[in-house]
Copies of this chain bind each other. A is one copy, B any other.
Amino acid sequence: MSRFLSEEAGRLAPYTPGEQPRDQQYVKLNTNESPFPPSPRVLEAIARETQLNLYSDPTCAQLTEAIAKWYGLAPENVLTGNGSDEILAFAFRAFCGTGKGVAYADVTYSFYRSQVALFGLDATVIPLREDFSLRVEDYLDFPGTVVIANPNAPTGMAIPPSDIRRLLEANRERVVIVDEAYVDFGGESCVPLIPEFDNLLVVQTMSKSRSLAGGRIGFAMGSPELIAGLNRVKYSFNPYNVNRLSIVAGAAAMEDEEYFQSCCAAICRTRARTTEQLQALGFTVLPSRTNFVFAKSDRLSGEALYRGLKEQGVLVRWWAGGSRIGDYLRITIGSDEQMAVLTDRIARLLKQS
């Protein structure tokens, strides 16, 4: 460890992003990107934004207003950030700390763990059931902040908003953060619960369903009280956190309803087809409400599949370390063409085995 590092920096648990290789053209199904470009209106809005010598609006009013309008909320219910990872970091700092621990599932977005280490939080990790479903009863009595990815990653499985409602009602003094990064692919959002519960924070992203992973736009929705808490952290960390291009890109993406709906519908159709094909190849595929599937073969290990596919130019996500998900692959739903390559390569690997 470097002599220059603070004790706190020494204790960090940095996140490992999915591979972003620059050496070869892969069929890239490892980071849950959309196979579709952003709406043409997004590119038009970017081309019109030329005043880059001026700071962006720190309140991101144009973007928060577009999001609020889409969800039928007020702008005071919305905060935007440089991707939802930043929003999550703001939320972990705002609502967790001394005497306020955090609970989340054993199999979920692994970045939560990095943020727990960043802020030195007490984390309670609660195992999912054997079938990877979440038992909401396990969280009812937890006194600190609860974080639930819904639908969950990397399992793809969802719980109904009625379960989230039970968590919110069980203790109105604690914050429940629902990470809805993947909700637009068949999940059911908890946003309609916001007017009723001032302890609910919903976090979403434009990286998946709005085809803007490269634009880095995340947002939180909740009571004005929770949004004010996030702003305290934002203005202590990076007041101008969303740049001018992302502000106009995100607003344009929210306004092109038709394009958004058609992209999400296409992903859901391809997901159904891919699921059937994987099942026909002997895979167990968890029921997905996301733009990926979480699946394991009845014949090849997760590692063998991951490595074999990579050799054949197809990248999927696999978690090393022999945990309970070690035989699963997380496979992004790409275009029909990409998924045809995937299933073809898997079939080859199975034949060779």
Task: Say yes or no: A6 contacts B249, CB within 8 Å.
Answer: no
A191 interface contact, C-beta 8 A: no
Task: Say yes or no: B52 contacts A22, CB within 8 Å.
Answer: no
Task: Say yes or no: B98 contacts A229, CB within 8 Å.
Answer: no
A207 interface contact, C-beta 8 A: yes
A304 interface contact, C-beta 8 A: no
Residues of B within 8 A of A35 (CB): 53
A189 interface contact, C-beta 8 A: no
Residue of B nearest to A115 (CB): B236
Pick the interface stretch among A78-86, A128-136, A292-300: A78-86
Task: Say yes or no: A229 contacts B2, CB within 8 Å.
Answer: yes
Interface size class of chain A, counting residues whose CB lies under 8 Å from the partner chain: 35 or more
In-complex Cβ contact of A214 among B13, B56, B235 (8 A): B56
Task: Say yes or no: B211 contacts A52, CB within 8 Å.
Answer: yes
Pick the interface stretch among A69-77, A239-247, A268-276: A239-247
User: Which of A9, A13, A212 is packed against the most chain B CB atoms within 10 Å?
Assistant: A9
Task: Say yes or no: A82 contacts B82, CB within 8 Å.
Answer: yes
Known: A61-B22, A99-B7. A235 touches B15 (CB 8 A): yes
In-complex Cβ contact of A86 among B28, B49, B83, B237 (8 A): B237
User: Quick one: which of A217-234 are within 8 Å of B by CB?
Assistant: 225-226, 228-229, 231-234
A42 interface contact, C-beta 8 A: yes
A231–B119 Cα gap in the complex (Å)? 16
- How near does chain B come to A2, taking the closest CB pair, in angstroms? 5
Mark interface residues in A51-63 (1 if CB within 8 Å of B CB, else 0): 1111111110100
Residue of B nearest to A7 (CB): B98
- How near does chain B come to A82, taking the closest CB pair, in angstroms? 5
Mark interface residues in A158-176 (1 if CB within 8 Å of B CB, else 0): 0000000000000001110
Residues of B within 8 A of A244 (CB): 214-215
A36 interface contact, C-beta 8 A: yes
In-complex Cβ contact of A89 among B34, B85, B117, B238 (8 A): B238
Task: Say yes or no: A42 contacts B37, CB within 8 Å.
Answer: no
